Amino acid sequence: MTQPLELSAHGRRRRTQALCALPALLAAAACAAQTAAPDLPEGPFAYPASLLAARSTYTVSPATPVLLGSTVVVLEQSRLGDVAAIVRAPVHVEGSGEDARRWVCAEADDAGRPLKLWFISSSGETVTEVQMRPGSFSGDARCGRLSAHFEPVYLSRIASGMKLEAVVRDIGPASAHDAQGWNFWVSRRTYDYYGQSFTEYVWVGARVSDEGVVGDVFTAQITR
């Protein structure tokens, strides 16, 4: 049985608001590279520019919450501070003001192979993006570690090491793909809540090798 991270009443109210602007995420997607400031550990990787061309083909999100073992991290609901407490790592901040981006890095284990994880907030409080990449942080004390209780890790039902064909069988065909091996699943849905209209966007990406094996994975969600 999954155990969702606790969400405060304030967090639930924020869920009904526009937590970050769509152009900001697309601008991040168009970056050719993203390097953490010198006083920060290795930062989240840049989204591929081809994500800009990926149109929504789902009206119901193909993504499910991030799974850390039996614990659920729900995008735009679970607090970044709670994740930081779980992995015992600080929250790092890039930028300032409305452009500030906060994230926590952690290492996990995938059947004996290390995985790097970034939990990212563009809203200031809740997790809006999560990234996964095979590899190690080389013992950087500024990144935490998930204990075995919080493994295995799946981002929207996808994990590094999976075969693309297994992902497609599970969540459906990709909305788009590019020549670099990225496959994207994109959804858009509009709903009304207490007389207000909201639009939720979800992007899921998995980079696949020539052998069809998933490496980098990301999932992101914004509502405006």
Beta-strand (E) ranges in 58-177? Answer: 66-68, 71-73, 92-94, 101-110, 113-121, 129-134, 144-145, 153-154, 176-177
More confident residue, 89 or 193: 89
Q: What is the pLDDT of residues 127-152, one digit of tens each?
A: 999 999 999 988 778 999 999 999 99
Cβ neighbour number for residue 3 with a 10 Å cutoff:
10
Contact 209, 30 (CB under 8 A): no
Q: Of the given ranges (1-5, 38-42, 122-126, 137-141), which has the lowest mean pLDDT?
A: 1-5
pLDDT band at residue 38 using 50, 70 and 90 as cut-offs: low
Contact 137, 145 (CB under 8 A): no
pTM of the model: 0.83
Mean pLDDT of 15-36: 42
Mean pLDDT of 64-80: 92
User: In this prediction, what percent of the chain has a pLDDT beyond 90?
Assistant: 54
Which residue range forms the structural domain that includes residue 142? Answer: 3-223
More confident residue, 144 or 194: 144
Whether the pLDDT of residue 186 is over 80: the answer is: yes
Q: What is the pLDDT of residues 80-91, one digit of tens each?
A: 999 999 999 999
- State the total domains in the chain: 1
pLDDT band at residue 98 using 50, 70 and 90 as cut-offs: confident
The torsion defined by the Cα of 170, 171, 173 and 176, in degrees rounded to 10, comes to: -140
Whether the pLDDT of residue 20 is over 50: the answer is: no
Question: So what's the pLDDT on residue 224?
Answer: 83
Q: Rounded distance, CA 36 to CA 159, Å?
A: 24
The CA R_g of the chain, rounded to the nearest whole Å, is 16
Question: So what's the pLDDT on residue 21?
Answer: 40
